[in-house]
Amino acid sequence: MKLENAVLGIELGSTRIKAVLVDEDFVPVASGSHEWENRLVNGIWTYTMEDIRGGIRAAYADLKRDVKEKFGVTLTTCAAMGGSAMMHGYLPFDRDGRQLAEFRTWRNTVTGEAAAILTDLFGFNIPQRWSIAHLYQAILNGEGHVGDIARLTTLAGYIHYELTGLHVMGVGEASGMLPIDSGVNDFDEAMVQAFDAVSKQPWKLRDILPKVLSAGENAGFLTEEGARFLDPEGDLRPGIPVAPCEGDAGTGMAATNSVRVRTGNVSAGTSDFAMIVTDQKLGVHREIDMVTTPDGTPVAMVHCNNCTSDINAWVNLFAEFSALMGVPVRKGELYTRLFQAALEGDADCGGLMSFNYYSGEGVTDLDEGRPVFARMQNANMTLPNFMRTHLLSALATLKIGLDILTQEEKVPIEKLYAHGGFFKTPEVGQRMLSAAVGAPVSVMETAGEGGPYGMALLAAYMVNREAQESLADYLDRKVFANAKSSTIMADTSDVAGFAVFLSRYRKALPLERKAAEVL
């Protein structure tokens, strides 16, 4: 493999930072990763700057080791690179580059007042996790740092700034800061002016927001400082072209070839979200976010803060039990066996109920979460039903949001591509999602690489596309023309069983709300 022809994608996800090196045939040839976890500090979900810097360096160092072991060479350069991260959140800096407040992640549900005011002001749904909601809530709270903000960004934008020295951002990531006008692929100017009119700050919004770029545009070059930021050992050379940074939603769309109108994908890990690319004008719904693809096409997004965290907690409990019994099981095998057991459960989970809410959930209007497991006295309490309950619970809130799209807005869902840890065990996650949406679900062979693979594809598009070649055409013709995938359509009994489970889930939501009050 020629390193100078490879492309590098890095993504900072909620629980793992991963770097993937992709060759000229779009095949992942090396990877590195680092596990991390958010912290709840003074009521705010956050990662420290030490977490961020140390984590991305650890993931890159792991990639370097993998390249050395596989190819016997030191990773020093590549054709292009790009960084991505979990979307949204709040990272303000002053004119000297000092961080003014803790990084407030997408997981926080502390901006309800601001989100409601801005939704009314803009006539456009502004979710609590969006950067503009965090900014306005800080203004409403009277936080002293707000007047000193010179640069407001997201985690992906921060990484890009460290790599290139440029305050720029891909349009898909930018669409999670402030609404985008897809006619010009830039922040909506009328909303910018409306915000400035009510914010009454010494700065104008345009002065502190990043410049918006579309997929395919050059977003700078790796600087000497950026190379040392990523590789303190000093082997990485500056000068590498860097693609516009994107969020995990945009990289997921690229990784699943879901950027063309009427395509869609679901990403399911710590959080889960569905992205349906649409050319329909939709009404304003609190449960539906309007973002964009990496090239600016409107996307209807159903985002849920909670997906696999509660599943992970139960798997850890089962791991402790197996160790206690003197038969420790590798975690990966344990996940596989438990997920497979769910296929043997009753279609409606036999009367068991679970709420996977580690944090608040905007779709169901909960500011705080408490994981809850409950059952009727005569429920069929089996391991398959127990696991199936947690898998269906992980998808229930997503389904509530998608029902608004399909039933109220008449947006068709004919097929979905899926990626993320929820789908790592073959067939199981696919079948459960298919039962939820009542449509076929496909998983590509490269789905396990997920977001960083999608970011690498966006970097490749920047340096290799032909003149006037759209991102959708590039992915169709060059990347995924011969891609292998598996498609599953759930049985009618599974679809009916999910509907019964969801009906019980909706009726039991007051139980989750009360748990947040009393626990």
Q: What range does the domain containing 378 cover?
A: 309-446+489-518
Residue 193 lies in a domain: yes
The verdict on 99 and 26 lying in the same domain is yes
The verdict on 177 and 133 lying in the same domain is yes
The verdict on 462 and 316 lying in the same domain is no
Residue 295 lies in a domain: no
Q: What is the pTM of this model?
A: 0.85
The verdict on 21 and 124 lying in the same domain is yes
- Residues 212 and 154: beta-carbon distance below 8 Å: no
State how far the Cα of 39 lies from the Cα of 248, in Å rounded to an integer: 20
The verdict on 472 and 435 lying in the same domain is no
The verdict on 199 and 70 lying in the same domain is yes
Residue 286 lies in a domain: no
The verdict on 209 and 357 lying in the same domain is no
- Measured CA to CA in angstroms, residue 339 lies from 274, 420, 429 at distances of 21, 15, 8
Q: What is the CATH number of the domain that holds 42?
A: 3.30.420.40
State how far the Cα of 371 lies from the Cα of 307, in Å rounded to an integer: 11
Residue 83 lies in a domain: yes
Give the number of domains in the chain.
Answer: 2
- Residues 433 and 416: beta-carbon distance below 8 Å: yes
The verdict on 367 and 494 lying in the same domain is yes
Structure tokens at 412: 């068709």
The verdict on 244 and 317 lying in the same domain is no
Residue 423 lies in a domain: yes
Residue 262 lies in a domain: no
- H or E segment to which residue 213 belongs: strand 211-213
The verdict on 60 and 185 lying in the same domain is yes
* Angle value at C-alpha 239, between 49 and 461, nearest 5 degrees: 90
The verdict on 464 and 366 lying in the same domain is no
Residue 273 lies in a domain: no
Residue 452 lies in a domain: yes
- Measured CA to CA in angstroms, residue 451 lies from 64, 248, 457, 476 at distances of 19, 6, 10, 18
Per-residue pLDDT of the chain (519 residues; tens, 9 = 90+): 688 899 999 999 988 999 999 999 999 999 999 999 999 999 999 999 999 999 999 999 999 999 999 999 999 999 999 999 999 999 999 999 999 999 999 989 899 999 999 999 999 999 999 999 999 999 999 999 999 999 999 999 999 999 999 999 999 999 999 999 999 999 999 999 999 999 999 999 999 999 999 999 999 999 999 999 999 999 999 999 999 999 999 998 999 999 999 889 998 988 898 999 988 888 899 889 999 999 999 999 998 999 999 999 999 999 999 999 999 999 999 999 999 999 999 999 999 999 999 989 989 989 899 999 999 999 999 999 999 999 999 999 999 999 999 999 998 888 899 988 899 899 999 999 999 999 999 998 765 567 899 999 999 999 999 989 999 999 999 999 888 889 999 999 999 999 999 999 999 999 999 999 999
Structure tokens at 108: 């926080």
Q: What pLDDT was estimated at residue 449?
A: 66
The verdict on 317 and 234 lying in the same domain is no
